[in-house]
């Protein structure tokens, strides 16, 4: 008899991926997030898991290293952070949760167990909504239900030196607080997964409880998935969004293949855990090799008792949630397009930004209020554009944090600057020069007080020429035209065939007038001189 | 106690050590420390000045090794002192050395130590067991080389050796003495205990150690201590209501022990104390509950000994047949391995809602039953106290008297089940965290101890009752 074997698990992801309607994907997520509390979960050592590169095993107390005779001491800040998240997700906070021990041996697990919450987790239920408008999923809206939130310890880190047949262990991360959030299997396409991760990342950043970065491992995502309700496969070791997406695609195709070949009873009969090696999902554990964690309530740590009032207090102290802010910004009086509203609300990454989202949003809202008073609501788009493009652009270029810039250019000064432009008291070009100049001086600490805009405008002679001398303008334009060596260009403008060349001439005029004459005036004058009637 | 007296005691240490194997390591600066304390006039006022003590070797000390009498921690030096070690030092006590024990506190004979069994000083030359697990601490007191010794009591480890050596062994209420630095065997039971021949010494030492400690989450905090003060009797009662639990009078107890117990009852009755028969039917579950919970906690607590960060590590391999750290953990003694296996069995997920959780529920029921017979409220459970309840309970400390080491190691007690039965009188108080002291019934060569047990937090009543017996 002929036999042929297929090696499931070694098939590259196809370029063109699509979900097939007869093979239904069902996914749930399990997300671990490091809380950026000052101290670790059960000790007073500094919570700085990223110090490892320079100083391994530096932020470790006797307890973190499991020195005999030491005991855990619960960090209440972690409880506060967890409460913030639970409340933001509408989860029901367990007013008396408990810590349990989960046993397994590993080199970077100093106690021989992890302290987690198994029998009575911190919060249950809750949900997060994804919408087409805000999160760009294909459906109008999709509610992702949350099963539970639990607080637990992170492990240390193993660094494998295969060549030397050695692993190095760094316990800086050991006992760092984590919150594990588990969703129900509500996802059925990839966009939903991607959007949820992004939204959840932004939420923890917004709440100020985590950097939310996948790259550093501050956030780690496991995916539970099944196809056509076959057995569940758990995907682990997914370091970033693209590997999450690739792993789900690969695993979907692998399972579809198995189903198509009628091999479900042998290959998809039992739940298994698979990892991602960059090209394929590979089996890590199946039922036979499952670890029995021998859960046990921790005999030393007391129950975490919270009062209803404490939870209500946390609820009241929460900042407005991002979806709500976006909706507000897109409505009257701001009327921002989604893209701009998101820039003002959603933190693209947890760090390497010159501002926190709250700083930026507050700055914008305050500037908006003051600007509208001076310039009216109609031209508010100008303020938005200047905030998002000019201001942020300059901050990034200069590596200048917003909070520093605000000292020199507080909202009322910024609003004043934009109002001056709007009222054509200075030209757009002068405004740009001025803004850059102010920020550059701030960066170099040459200005430290709120700037006196009028004085600077005066100093640089930037105020727009109020009434332009007609003769003077004609003279400047003639001069520019006489210096043009390409007569074809001029005739092209006259005939209207080379309309863009006119812009070149206007640019020359702006330079000659140091931007103090509005471009429109130059445009009109050149057209007149060249008899261009278009 | 005088300095001269203390120094002469120190002089006897080497001989006692040679004869009874009391210590795992000795403090060679003890004499110097005594003299230094004495010279410093101001410090002479300290409550434990000129007192010598011994510390069980499962309590962390910076200056001497902390081995738990286990090969796995042979030569291990703790980077810090346990809270109680600091308190004793500050009070002027001088530590003579670390004392032998059943490895990690697991055992009732004092025989299961990596450093060999401790021998009972009451029977020189006869190689009799001391009882465990605080065997060396009991022996040090019995041999008169220290004024007091610190032990730990998980299921009777202070009271049983005290009974076998005719000394006082006090297990305070759980949570009164900090466990920070006490190496956990089963920390929902582990209690630091004080052993001495003098009740006044025990009271003095207890006063020094009875402090809150933010480093130990199970140590009573200040607010609980304040609450405790509000429910405790303002004045010590001169006439006590004493309960004798029916369940503590099983058959098979040696007639000599029963006789001594009854003579104590008569002695107390003659002093005007009243006796009441009581029943605590849940006591019969004590051993199964204890031997479900304690080994489970032990299996968990001992998971840290993998040799990676401290302690002994197998020189060649970190795993055997894919079992991580098996070669290193091979270094545990047999009794410890037995209890780790038992503990893991109890925790395994095969049993729906594992045995541990069930046993915990039964433990709560037992505590409720104790609450129902005591007159005093219990601040931990919120029990209001029984108006017609008793002040203390009285029972024997052990079902037997000490045997020879060879008999203990080869006889029926070698069977774990039999040796565990020995704990029947001591485990109920451990399960409920009750203050209990074992008091000798006489000075004879047949050591038999009786236990006085009080309601949770009522340690003073228990200690004060001793004077009517001892």
Percent of chain A with pLDDT over 90: 61
Q: CB neighbours of B258 closer than 8 A, spacing ≥ 6?
A: none
Q: CB neighbours of A361 closer than 8 A, spacing ≥ 6?
A: A325, A344, A345
Same domain for A453 and A480?
no
**Does residue A311 form part of some domain?**
no
Mean pLDDT score, B399-412? 86
B275: closest CA among B284, B265, B285? B265
Tell me the sheet residues that pair with A127. A145
Same domain for A59 and A197?
yes
Mean pLDDT score, B400-405? 90
Res. A10 pLDDT band, cuts 50 70 90: very low
A367: closest CA among A421, A419, A322? A419
Token pair recorded at residue B321: 């047949």
Res. A387 pLDDT band, cuts 50 70 90: very high
**Does residue A534 form part of some domain?**
no
**Does residue A310 form part of some domain?**
no
Give the pLDDT confidence of A410-469 residue by residue, as tens digits: 999 999 999 999 988 888 888 898 899 899 989 888 888 888 888 888 777 776 666 677
Mean pLDDT score, A320-334? 92
Above 60 in pLDDT, residue A300? yes
Same domain for A326 and A236?
no
pLDDT value, residue B242: 98
For residues A360 and A355, give the distance between their C-alpha atoms in angstroms, rounded to a whole number. Answer: 6
For A43-57, A206-220, A375-389, B223-237, which range has the lowest pLDDT when averaged over its residues? A43-57
For A514-528, B174-188, B371-385, which range has the lowest pLDDT when averaged over its residues? A514-528
Percent of chain A with pLDDT over 70: 94
Helix (H) or strand (E) holding B162: helix B159-164
Compute, in degrees rounded to 10, the torsion defined by CA atoms A47, A51, A55, A60: 10
Question: Annotated catalytic residue: which of B133, B166, B286, B419?
Answer: B133
Please give the C-alpha separations between residue A21 and each of A18, A223, A256, in angstroms, as whole numbers.
9, 21, 11
Helix (H) or strand (E) holding B12: helix B3-20
For residues A247 and A17, give the distance between their C-alpha atoms in angstroms, rounded to a whole number. Answer: 12
**Does residue A220 form part of some domain?**
yes
* Residues of A with Cβ-Cβ distance to B300 under 8 angstroms: 101, 103, 112-113, 294, 296
Cβ separation B308–A66 shorter than 8 A? no
The number of residues in chain B equals: 470
| Exposure on the CB side of residue A114, measured as CA atoms within 13 A | 23
Cβ separation A105–B310 shorter than 8 A? no
* Residues of B with Cβ-Cβ distance to A68 under 8 angstroms: 60, 66, 68, 73, 76, 78, 183-184, 304, 310
Cβ pair A423, A464 in contact under 8 A: no
Residue ending a domain, among A297, A331, A351, is A297
* Residues of B with Cβ-Cβ distance to A296 under 8 angstroms: 296-297, 300, 347, 354, 356
Please give the C-alpha separations between residue B184 and each of A69, A175, A476, B287, B300, in angstroms, as whole numbers.
6, 19, 92, 20, 10
The domain of A76 spans: 25-297
pLDDT value, residue A506: 85
Above 90 in pLDDT, residue B464? yes
Q: Judged by CB atoms within 8 Å, which residues 280-319 of A form the interface with B?
A: 292-297, 299-302
Same domain for A346 and A369?
yes
**Does residue A511 form part of some domain?**
yes
- Please compute Rg for chain A using Cα positions: 31
Please give the C-alpha separations between residue A324 and each of A203, A341, B76, in angstroms, as whole numbers.
12, 11, 58
pLDDT value, residue B237: 83
**Does residue A170 form part of some domain?**
yes
Locate the chain A residue with the closest alpha carbon to B181: A69
Tell me the sheet residues that pair with B241. B274
Res. A37 pLDDT band, cuts 50 70 90: very high
The number of residues in chain A equals: 534
**Does residue A476 form part of some domain?**
yes
Res. A52 pLDDT band, cuts 50 70 90: low
Same domain for A47 and A74?
yes
Cβ pair B132, B152 in contact under 8 A: no
Q: What's the mean per-residue pLDDT of chain B?
A: 93
Token pair 């022990």 in the structure block, residue: B257
Same domain for A326 and A289?
no
Cβ separation A67–B78 shorter than 8 A? yes
Cβ separation B217–A110 shorter than 8 A? no
* Ordered alpha helix ranges (H), A444-531: 453-460, 470-482, 487-495, 499-512, 519-529
pLDDT value, residue A4: 46
Same domain for A173 and A202?
yes
pLDDT value, residue A465: 64
Locate the chain A residue with the closest alpha carbon to B324: A105
Q: CB neighbours of A348 closer than 8 A, spacing ≥ 6?
A: none
Cβ separation B304–A111 shorter than 8 A? yes
Mean pLDDT score, B89-115? 97
pLDDT value, residue A461: 72
B130: closest CA among B151, B154, B108, B156? B108
Q: What's the mean per-residue pLDDT of chain A?
A: 89
pLDDT value, residue A12: 52
Same domain for A348 and A440?
yes
Res. B263 pLDDT band, cuts 50 70 90: very high
**Does residue A3 form part of some domain?**
no
Cβ pair B279, B246 in contact under 8 A: yes
Residue ending a domain, among A439, A460, A481, is A460
For residues A189 and A351, give the distance between their C-alpha atoms in angstroms, rounded to a whole number. Answer: 29
Res. A5 pLDDT band, cuts 50 70 90: very low
pLDDT value, residue B176: 98
pLDDT value, residue A528: 85
Same domain for A353 and A495?
no
Mean pLDDT score, A32-36? 97
Q: CB neighbours of A406 closer than 8 A, spacing ≥ 6?
A: A359, A363
Active site residue B56: yes
Res. A351 pLDDT band, cuts 50 70 90: low
Active site residue B348: no
Give the pLDDT confidence of B309-360 residue by residue, as tens digits: 999 999 999 999 888 999 999 999 999 999 999 999 999 887 756 788 899 9
Same domain for A76 and A142?
yes
Mean pLDDT score, B39-64? 88
Q: State the nearest Cα–Cα gap between A398 and chain B, in angstroms.
A: 47
pLDDT value, residue B219: 97
Same domain for A406 and A491?
no
pLDDT value, residue B302: 98
Interface test with B, best of A294, A302, A304 (most B CBs within 10 A): A294
User: Which residue in the set B78, B182, B303 is minimally distant from A103, CB to CB?
Assistant: B303
A47: closest CA among A57, A56, A36? A36
Mean pLDDT score, B270-293? 94
Please give the C-alpha separations between residue B435 and each of A160, A162, A375, B274, B450, in angstroms, as whole numbers.
51, 55, 79, 20, 14
Percent of chain B with pLDDT over 90: 83
pLDDT value, residue B43: 56
Most confident among A39-53, A378-392, B345-359 (mean pLDDT): A378-392
DSSP assignment of B317-372, as one string? -SEETTEETHHHHTTS-HHHHHHHHHHHHHH-TTSSS-HHHHHHHHHHHHHHHHHH
Q: Which residue has the higher pLDDT, A54 or A76?
A: A76
Interface test with B, best of A65, A66, A71, A288 (most B CBs within 10 A): A71
Above 90 in pLDDT, residue B265? yes
Domain tally for chain A? 3
Above 80 in pLDDT, residue A33? yes
Mean pLDDT score, A283-304? 88
Q: What SS3 state is found at B409?
A: helix
User: Which residue in the set A72, A119, A294 is minimally distant from B347, CB to CB?
Assistant: A294
Same domain for A200 and A51?
yes
pLDDT value, residue A6: 47
Mean pLDDT score, A97-121? 96
CATH topology of domain B1-470: Amidase signature (AS) enzymes (3.90.1300)
Cβ pair B63, B79 in contact under 8 A: no
């Amino acid at each position: 008899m002929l036999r042929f074997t297929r090696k499931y698990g070694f098939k590259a992801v196809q370029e063109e991926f699509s979900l097939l309607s007869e093979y239904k994907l069902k996914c749930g997520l399990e997300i671990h997030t490091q809380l950026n509390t000052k101290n670790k979960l059960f000790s007073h050592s500094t919570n700085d898991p990223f110090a490892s590169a320079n100083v391994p095993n530096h932020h470790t107390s006797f307890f973190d290293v499991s020195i005999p005779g030491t005991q855990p001491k619960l960090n209440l800040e972690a409880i506060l952070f967890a409460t913030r998240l639970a409340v933001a997700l509408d989860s029901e906070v367990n007013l008396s949760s408990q810590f349990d021990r989960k046993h397994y041996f590993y080199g970077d697990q100093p106690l021989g167990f992890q302290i987690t919450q198994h029998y009575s987790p911190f919060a249950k239920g809750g949900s997060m909504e994804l919408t087409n408008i805000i999160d760009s999923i294909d459906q109008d809206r999709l509610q992702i239900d949350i099963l539970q939130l639990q607080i637990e310890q992170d492990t240390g880190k193993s660094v494998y030196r295969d060549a030397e047949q050695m692993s190095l262990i760094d316990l800086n991360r050991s006992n760092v607080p984590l919150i594990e959030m588990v969703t129900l299997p509500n996802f059925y396409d990839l966009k939903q997964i991607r959007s949820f991760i992004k939204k959840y990342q932004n939420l923890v950043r917004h709440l100020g409880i985590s950097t939310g970065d996948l790259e550093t491992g501050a956030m780690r995502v496991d995916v539970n998935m099944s196809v056509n309700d076959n057995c569940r496969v758990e995907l682990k070791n997914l370091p970033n969004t693209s590997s999450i997406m690739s792993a789900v695609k690969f695993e979907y195709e692998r399972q579809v293949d198995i189903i198509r070949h009628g091999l479900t009873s042998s290959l998809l009969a039992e739940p298994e855990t698979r990892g991602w090696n960059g090209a394929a999902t590979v089996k890590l554990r199946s039922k036979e090799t499952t670890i029995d964690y021998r859960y046990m309530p921790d005999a030393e740590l007391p129950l975490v008792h919270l009062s209803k009032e404490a939870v209500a207090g946390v609820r009241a102290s929460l900042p407005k949630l991002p979806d709500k802010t976006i909706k507000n910004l897109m409505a009257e009086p701001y009327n921002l397009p989604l893209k701009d509203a998101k820039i003002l609300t959603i933190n693209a990454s947890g760090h390497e930004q010159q501002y926190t989202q709250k700083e930026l949003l507050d700055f914008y809202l305050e500037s908006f209020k003051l600007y509208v008073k001076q310039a009216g609501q109609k031209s508010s788009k100008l303020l938005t554009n200047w905030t998002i493009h000019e201001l942020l652009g300059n901050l990034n270029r200069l590596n200048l944090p917003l909070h520093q810039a605000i000292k020199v250019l507080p909202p009322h000064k910024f609003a004043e600057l934009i109002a001056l432009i709007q009222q054509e008291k200075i030209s757009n070009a002068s405004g740009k020069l001025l803004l850059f100049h102010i920020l550059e001086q701030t960066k170099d600490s040459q200005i430290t007080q709120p700037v006196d805009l009028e004085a600077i405008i005066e100093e640089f002679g930037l105020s727009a020429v109020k009434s332009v001398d007609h003769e003077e303008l004609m003279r400047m334009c003639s001069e520019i035209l006489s210096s043009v060596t390409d007569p074809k260009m001029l005739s092209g403008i006259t005939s209207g065939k080379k309309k863009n060349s006119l812009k070149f001439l206007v640019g020359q005029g702006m330079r000659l007038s140091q931007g103090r004459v509005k471009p429109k005036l130059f445009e009109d004058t050149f057209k007149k001189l060249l008899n261009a009637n278009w | 106690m005088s300095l001269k007296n203390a120094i002469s005691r120190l002089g006897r240490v080497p001989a006692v050590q040679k004869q009874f194997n009391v210590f795992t390591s000795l403090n060679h600066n003890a004499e110097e420390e005594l003299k230094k304390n004495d010279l410093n006039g101001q410090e002479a006022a300290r409550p434990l000045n000129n007192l010598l003590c011994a510390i069980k070797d499962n309590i962390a000390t910076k200056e001497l090794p902390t081995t738990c009498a286990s090969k796995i921690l042979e030569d291990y030096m703790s980077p810090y002192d346990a809270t109680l070690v600091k308190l004793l030092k500050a009070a002027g006590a001088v530590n003579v050395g670390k004392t032998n024990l059943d490895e990690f506190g697991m055992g009732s004979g004092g025989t299961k130590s990596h450093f060999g069994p401790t021998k009972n000083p009451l029977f020189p030359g006869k190689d009799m067991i001391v009882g465990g697990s605080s065997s060396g601490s009991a022996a040090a007191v019995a041999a008169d080389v220290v004024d007091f010794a610190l032990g730990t009591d998980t299921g009777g480890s202070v009271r049983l050796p005290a009974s076998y050596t005719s000394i006082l062994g006090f297990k305070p209420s759980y949570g009164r003495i900090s466990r920070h630095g006490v190496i956990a065997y089963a920390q929902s039971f582990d209690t630091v205990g004080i052993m001495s021949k003098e009740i006044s010494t025990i009271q003095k030492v207890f006063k020094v150690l009875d402090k809150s400690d933010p480093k130990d989450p199970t140590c009573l905090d200040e607010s609980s201590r304040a609450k405790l003060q509000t429910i405790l009797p303002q004045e010590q009662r001169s006439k006590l209501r004493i309960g004798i639990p029916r369940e503590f009078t099983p058959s098979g107890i040696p007639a000599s022990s029963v006789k001594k117990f009854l003579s104590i009852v008569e002695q107390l009755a003659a002093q005007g104390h009243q006796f009441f028969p009581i029943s605590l039917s849940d006591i019969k579950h004590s051993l199964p509950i204890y031997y479900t919970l304690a080994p489970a906690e032990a299996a968990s607590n001992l998971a840290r000994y993998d040799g990676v960060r401290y302690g002994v590590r197998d020189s060649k391999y970190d795993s055997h047949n894919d079992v991580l750290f098996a070669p290193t953990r091979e270094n545990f003694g047999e009794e410890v391995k037995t209890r780790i296996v038992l503990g893991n069995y109890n925790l395994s997920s095969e049993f729906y809602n594992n045995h541990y959780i069930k046993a915990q529920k039964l433990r709560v029921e037992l505590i409720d039953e104790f609450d129902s017979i005591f007159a005093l409220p219990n601040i931990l459970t919120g029990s209001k106290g029984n108006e017609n309840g008793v002040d203390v309970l009285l029972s024997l400390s052990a079902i037997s008297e000490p045997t020879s080491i060879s008999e203990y190691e080869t006889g029926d007690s070698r069977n774990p089940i039999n040796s565990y039965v020995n704990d029947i009188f001591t485990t109920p108080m451990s399960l409920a965290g009750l203050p209990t002291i074992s008091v000798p019934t006489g000075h004879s060569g047949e050591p038999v101890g009786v236990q006085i047990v009080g309601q949770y937090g009522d340690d003073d009543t228990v200690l004060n009752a001793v004077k009517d017996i001892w």
